Amino acid sequence: MTKVFKGFEALGNLADLRFLYSPTLESMCGYEHKSLNKSTEYLIAGRLHEGQVHVTTCSFIQPWSSLTPAQRQGFTQLYKTSCDCEVVPCTGIPCSVSGDLQCLWTDRVNSRLGRHPQAQQYACTLKKGGFCTWTLLRPR
């Protein structure tokens, strides 16, 4: 790992993260990194469970160079300030959230139209009133 953006405390401030865990079989959503170019940096957004980072084929895994400036800003600066917020994927209409700390992610529904504005330009952020909402990122 080159850099960990959030989760330091949960990892016990582990400076040297060497392993990502994934189901063995692809049919169980197991992820296998197939890139042959070892110099390409990837952003891998996994889930932390019992001190281990887990990834699946549903995890957000992209070459760093393919991220929009807003996404880079989100990962390096903003997302860690809103860890209490939960992004809830909407895969079909109707869909809804069940609490104030949730943001409804509709990019999958809109992807049929070729639009992905939330993933590319917005962040689910915690506001002063104790609720989460989508915030437009304006990269500097």
pTM, 2 dp: 0.67
Give the residue from 13, 37, 66 where a domain finishes.
Answer: 66
Is residue 105 domain-shared with residue 41, that is, in the same domain? no
Is residue 124 domain-shared with residue 75, that is, in the same domain? yes
Q: Provide the CATH number for the domain around residue 30.
A: 2.40.50.120
- Give the total number of structural domains in the chain: 2
On the question of pLDDT at 82 being above 70, the answer is: yes
For 3, the domain range is: 1-66
Is residue 74 domain-shared with residue 57, that is, in the same domain? no
Is residue 133 domain-shared with residue 71, that is, in the same domain? yes
Both tokens assigned to 135: 């915030």
Nearest to 44 by CA among 29, 30, 58: 58
Query: What sections of the chain are H helices per DSSP?
Result: 69-73, 107-110, 117-121
Is residue 61 domain-shared with residue 87, that is, in the same domain? no
Q: What is the pLDDT of residues 3-62, one digit of tens each?
A: 666 655 656 655 556 778 888 887 788 887 777 777 888 888 888 777 778 888 777 888
